[in-house]
Amino acid sequence: EPEVTQTPSHQVTQMGQEVILRCVPISNHLYFYWYRQILGQKVEFLVSFYNNEISEKSEIFDDQFSVERPDGSNFTLKIRSTKLEDSAMYFCASSGVAGGLTDTQYFGPGTRLTVL
Question: d(Cα 85, Cα 97) in Å, to the nearest integer?
Answer: 34
By CB under 8 A, tell whether 61 contacts another protein. no
Residue 102 in the binding site for another protein (CB under 8 A): yes
Residue 89 as a binder of another protein (CB under 8 A): the answer is yes
| 60 binding another protein? (CB under 8 A) | no
For 98, residues 6+ apart whose C-beta sits below 8 A from its C-beta are none
Among 24, 60, 65, 112, binds another protein (CB under 8 A): 112
Calculate the dihedral angle through the C-alpha atoms of 78, 35, 101, 107, rounding to the nearest 10 degrees.
Answer: 100
Binding residues for another protein, rule CB under 8 A, total 27
Q: Is 58 in the site for another protein (CB under 8 A)?
A: yes
Q: Shortest gap between Cβ of 5 and another protein (angstroms)?
A: 11
The answer to whether 36 and 44 are in contact (CB under 8 A) is: yes
44 binding another protein? (CB under 8 A): yes
Residue 104 in contact with another protein, rule: CB under 8 A: yes
Sequence-separated (6 or more) residues with CB below 8 Å from residue 33: 45, 46, 47, 48, 49, 92, 93, 94, 95, 105
**Opening angle at CA 34, ends 33 and 39, nearest 5:** 145
**Residue 68 interacting with another protein (CB under 8 A):** no
**Residues within the interface to another protein (CB under 8 A):** 31, 33, 35, 41-45, 48, 50, 55-56, 58, 89, 91, 93, 99, 101-102, 104-110, 112
